[in-house]
Amino acid sequence: MSWYRNTVWFVKGLREYTRSGYESASKHFNPADVEVNVAGRSFLVTGANSGIGKATATEIARRGGTVHLVCRNKERAEVAKGEIVTETGNQNIFLHIVDISNPREIWKFAEKFKNEHKLNVLINNAGCMVNNRELTGDGLEKNFATNTLGTYILTTALLPLLEKEADARVITVSSGGMLVQKLNVSDLQSGNGTFDGTMVYAQNKRQQVVLTEQWAKAHRNIHFSVMHPGWADTPAVRSAMPDFYQKMKNSLRTEAQGADTVVWLAISSEATKLPSGLFFQDRQPVPTHLPLASTHSPPEDEEKLMEVLEEFSQKFKSTSPG
């Protein structure tokens, strides 16, 4: 069945996830959806120094939003901030240096941020695909620490801030790769069997879909969404998937095309007319499971994921300095 899932996903990807898929879908977009002024609204974008994160931050800045860039590398982040300010003329761009794979650092940042800023929209874009099993300084598998636990802690830590605002939103950048994975709560840190970075990443992205669905049920006055940007030409794809990049580079989407649905979900009034908790591709909600793929998980597994992540979260909160 995994062979079936992978094959169907790849064929679907060739048709829908490439640049031509975007060009086809975009014929049906309403340009007015994103021709909005968001001055006075505050946006936080993780992984914002390059790729889809930077493209998203730039488009929001262009429309007058206050943008908080959360990045790991100070030098690259400062260059990105300068480029965004220069390109958009928007001075309300703020930089925060945080490693999303470090749960204590996230808690420390979130507590400080809550005291100093307001927040209307959180965009969870930071992610990684590490192809060998690496542990962080906290003994966490690095993909899980960044993609799943980091996303969980940052979001839950900032929920009280979002709850205070009208039209609050949380958007998480996932991947269509999650379609080949069924939620596996028995091995969240990929310690069993052969380690396959691509499949671990896909599992993390499935976890992000489940998180979004669970948050949407629990927090009714915040609009949650998760999305697939398509296959885009980003630094992350070039470094983490060099073989895939070489085969597909002439068909990949631009960073701006990959970011389009993130921006639409973050600023358009049309996005929040749709139910909270959905998975989007090219401005449309799409199924989270392939036909006949057997990737549905029982409710108790989804509840277990939330329980385990909350346990991790509280453990690192209690040991967080400050």
Instruction: Return the pLDDT at 233.
Output: 74
The CATH number of residue 277's host domain is: 3.40.50.720
pLDDT tens figures, 245-303: 688 778 899 999 999 999 999 999 999 999 999 999 999 999 999 888 899 999 999 99
- Comparing C-alpha atoms, which of 51, 84, 89 is closest to residue 68? 84
The answer to whether residue 303 is domain-embedded is yes
Instruction: Return the pLDDT at 36.
Output: 98
Instruction: Return the pLDDT at 13.
Output: 59
Report CA torsion sign: 169, 172, 176, 179.
negative
The answer to whether residue 322 is domain-embedded is no
Tokens of residue 141, six digits: 């598998």
The answer to whether residue 268 is domain-embedded is yes
The answer to whether residue 144 is domain-embedded is yes
Residue ranges of the chain with per-residue pLDDT less than 70: 1, 3-4, 8-14, 245, 319-322
The answer to whether residue 274 is domain-embedded is yes
Rounded to the nearest 10°, the torsion over CA 36, 41, 42, 43 is -20
Q: Which residues are catalytic?
A: 201
Give the total number of structural domains in the chain: 1
- Comparing C-alpha atoms, which of 17, 293, 13 is closest to residue 180? 293
The answer to whether residue 179 is domain-embedded is yes
Instruction: Return the pLDDT at 320.
Output: 58
**Domain of residue 74, residue span:** 3-315
The answer to whether residue 321 is domain-embedded is no
